[in-house]
Amino acid sequence: MEHLRLTTAPPLDPAWLQFEAESGIAKPKPSLSILERQPLYAAACRALTQKMTAPGARDHHLSQAITTTSFTILSSTDGFAIPVLQLSRDTSTSDEGPSTTVIYIHGGGLAIGEADSEELTCRRIVADSGLANVSVYSIGYRLMPTYPATTCVSDCIDAFDGILSRAPTEAKVIVVGSSSGGELAALLAGRVGKSRIHGLALRCPVTSDAFTSLEEYVPQSFRELHTSTRDDSFVNCLLGKMVRVVPRDGLPYMPLEASEEELRGMPRTWIQVCSNDGLYSDGVCYAKALEEVGVEVKVDVVWGWPHTFWLKAPELDRALEAEREFLRALKWLAE
């Protein structure tokens, strides 16, 4: 993975810079608390999904022949009803082959986002991945600061267990996480292991707390490779320098700090990173950690683009291509 080491970020792609200028996304925003931002973010995500799937829109087909079902799974710690959004095709047949269960964990710094906040991607998995008899389950885990990060993790584990109790027993299980959802997905996979998870897809994942301290929270063997928190060229309007109230958000360890035994138990993994992202090195270093213990891992680098840009600008051609690369990876993970 040393060939992926970057000391500075490359120039942003002209198509992204044009989007920045035309959308105003880089303009200063009102100062709001996390609790104020939560409903606004959720509403904005829903509006974007509706826009992208409206009649005449490029992704209108994603609104067709897909059934959505909402249900809850009870937390094992306090009985809280954890929301889950299920998406599947209206019709499927046994002739398509074995079932695939995709468990999706949204991003948002563990502080924003709901089960439907990345619904466009979930719909794309159902409609365009080519996976046989696929069902996608997106978890609406509880958020900081109302709840601690440990609750985010436990909600995902409880939801995972509950979803698998509903899914076909022979289904291949793939766990997907974007950004902080990638952190949760990696922690989940580390806890349950490859005996229950067939594949893991991490998109711009958080795997360390290098922003707080490279020396304290990134294992020594990865510090030379972990460069993206050291240089301001990786900072842009989609992700600045992450500031946590407490290190690791209070978690005992981050995915990059997992024991060798835990890492050895991980399923085959695909990691997508963006070159213009303070979390770029988190993904690259985690890929190296898995590779070093013998886990089959692939890395896809989106050069010249910022953190999870496909969520903010799904209409762009490169966003669609990033999504298609992800769908191809799901096919590989399901092999």
Domain boundaries, the chain: 2-24+44-333
Cα–Cα distance for residue pair 256/114, rounded to 1 Å: 25
pLDDT tens-digit readout, 200-224: 999 999 999 999 999 999 999 999 9
Chain mean position to CA 253: 18
Cα–Cα distance for residue pair 290/114, rounded to 1 Å: 29
> Mean per-residue pLDDT for 308-312?
98
Closest to 206 in 3D by CA, of 178, 233, 168? 178
Cα–Cα distance for residue pair 20/327, rounded to 1 Å: 26
The answer to whether the CB of 210 falls within 8 A of the CB of 280 is no
Contacts of 55 (CB under 8 A, 6+ apart): none
pLDDT tens-digit readout, 254-267: 999 999 999 999 99
Q: Domain 2-24+44-333 is classified in which CATH homologous superfamily?
A: Alpha/Beta hydrolase fold, catalytic domain (3.40.50.1820)
Cα–Cα distance for residue pair 77/306, rounded to 1 Å: 37
Give the pLDDT of residue 257: 99
Contacts of 136 (CB under 8 A, 6+ apart): 86, 87, 88, 102, 103, 104, 122, 125, 126
Q: pTM for this structure?
A: 0.97
- pLDDT tops 80 at residue 91: no
Give the pLDDT of residue 311: 98
Give the pLDDT of residue 132: 84
> Mean per-residue pLDDT for 115-133?
97
pLDDT tens-digit readout, 162-178: 999 999 889 999 999 99
Cα–Cα distance for residue pair 263/286, rounded to 1 Å: 10
